[in-house]
Amino acid sequence: MDMILLSQHAAMFSEFRKMNFTPTTEICEPSIALLNIEELKSTFIAKFRTLENYIDQKYEASDRKMEGEISRLDEELSAMKNRQVVCPTPKPLQWEKSGDSYYYFSNTAEHWEEAKKLCAAANSYLIIINSRTEQDFVVQKIKQSSVWLGLSDTEVERTWRWVDGSLLQEHNRALYEDKGKGEKGARDIVGYWRRGEPNNAGNVENCAVLYKEKNWNDIPCDKNVHFVCEKSALN
């Protein structure tokens, strides 16, 4: 709109120049010149008012248009607020009980952190293996080749911690002793590691998975893997 106004403005002044500013013999006469200047002044004022009105009208029109637009958006917003979003009732998670815990077996594969968050959101935690019996139960239930364990060494390499903050070495001392001699490559780290694991391959493996073969491996945490959430059945 500014461009329209400017061009309109320029056209008017060009018109004034054409009409009144060409010197003639007549306007050089003092009396006639005075008359012409008065005429020119009133013409100018009239034209200026016309321009003012024009600008006012344009702005008014623009204001009206804007008001219309705001009112339309307001109506749309109200309509959105009033619209009833009908969501299907989410199906409750299917928990399976074994020993003193309930377990949820995910239908999706996620990054380790996401899996951890999803379990937490369901008032549970990414599974912590406390016994061979527990591991056997999980392995026999999973349909996939592997699931995330709630175990990682992201903070300090080779310091494996469960999601409850406990250290693998301490937490699983009994489990290690129960297991017997331990496996090659993981003599200083307890658990059911697959032979040669955890090996932090490529320097990027900080999250542990449990394989259907009943052993563990460290793999990159950003892999998409199914997971198991665990929660206590005692409270």
Residues in contact with Ca ion by the rule CB under 5 A: 128, 130, 197, 199, 201, 205, 217-218
Backbone angles phi, psi at 118, to 5 degrees: -65, -40
* Least distance from Ca ion to the Cβ atom of residue 232, Å: 9
* Beta carbon nearer to Ca ion, 47 or 212: 212
Reported in sequence order, the residue ranges of the chain that DSSP labels E, i.e. its strands, are 95-98, 101-105, 125-126, 146-152, 161-162, 207-211, 216-219, 226-232
* Beta carbon nearer to Ca ion, 70 or 120: 120
Cβ neighbours, 10 Å, residue 56: 10
CA distances from 125 to 90, 112, 128, 137, 227 (A): 20, 12, 8, 17, 10
* Least distance from Ca ion to the Cβ atom of residue 127, Å: 6
* Beta carbon nearer to Ca ion, 210 or 226: 210
* Least distance from Ca ion to the Cβ atom of residue 76, Å: 51
* Beta carbon nearer to Ca ion, 45 or 204: 204
* Least distance from Ca ion to the Cβ atom of residue 194, Å: 8
DSSP three-state, residue 175? helix
* Least distance from Ca ion to the Cβ atom of residue 131, Å: 8
Listed in sequence order, the residues at least 6 apart from 182 whose beta carbon sits closer than 8 Å to its beta carbon are: 176, 190
Whole-number Å distance between alpha carbons of 46 and 109: 77
SS (H, E, C) 135-149: HHHHHHHCCCCEEEE
* Beta carbon nearer to Ca ion, 40 or 185: 185
* Least distance from Ca ion to the Cβ atom of residue 74, Å: 55
Beta bridge partners of 210: 147, 216
* Beta carbon nearer to Ca ion, 153 or 205: 205
